[in-house]
Amino acid sequence: MGDARFNRPPRRLRGIAPPPEIVAADIAGIGHNGGPPLEEYVPEWGPNGIGNYFEWRQASEAAFNDMPFDTAIRRAKKAESLGLTFREYQLEILERGRFLQAEDTARITEIIARRKK
């Protein structure tokens, strides 16, 4: 009888590749959890401090998501007819307080040009 670990043939005869070579640079130091380096990680609020990021994000989501369904559909169709995205059209309403029309070609081309940057 015996333990199956001792009765099996060596790796090379079983067709299993040997483990990769480990060098000292691959081994994390004492107290390191082996996670990614912190210097490369950039949080979603950017490289600077948090500041008022979460308040801004909540207000931004409320501006785009908290509206009646019919209003959102109407504005999406209007934005599509002008060649804008819903977000661009909604931003124009929120920032400038005006609803873009087909005659506002200068402002529409300005918005589209800003999109490509």
Q: What is the pLDDT along the chain (117 residues), one digit of tens a residue?
A: 555 666 666 666 666 776 778 787 777 778 777 776 667 777 777 777 787 888 888 888 888 888 899 999 999 999 999 999 999 999 999 889 989 999 999 999 999 999 876
Q: Which domain holds residue 84?
A: 20-115
Q: Is 90 within 8 Å of 67 (Cβ atoms)?
A: no
Q: Rounded to an integer, what distance in angstroms lies between the CA atom of residue 85 and that of residue 87?
A: 5
Question: Which letter does DSSP use for residue 66 in this model?
Answer: S
pTM over 0.75: no
Asked if residue 67 is part of any domain, the answer here is: yes
Query: What residues have CB less than 8 Å from 97, skipping those under 6 apart?
Result: none
What is the count of structural domains for the chain?
Answer: 1
Asked if residue 43 is part of any domain, the answer here is: yes
Question: Which letter does DSSP use for residue 116 in this model?
Answer: T
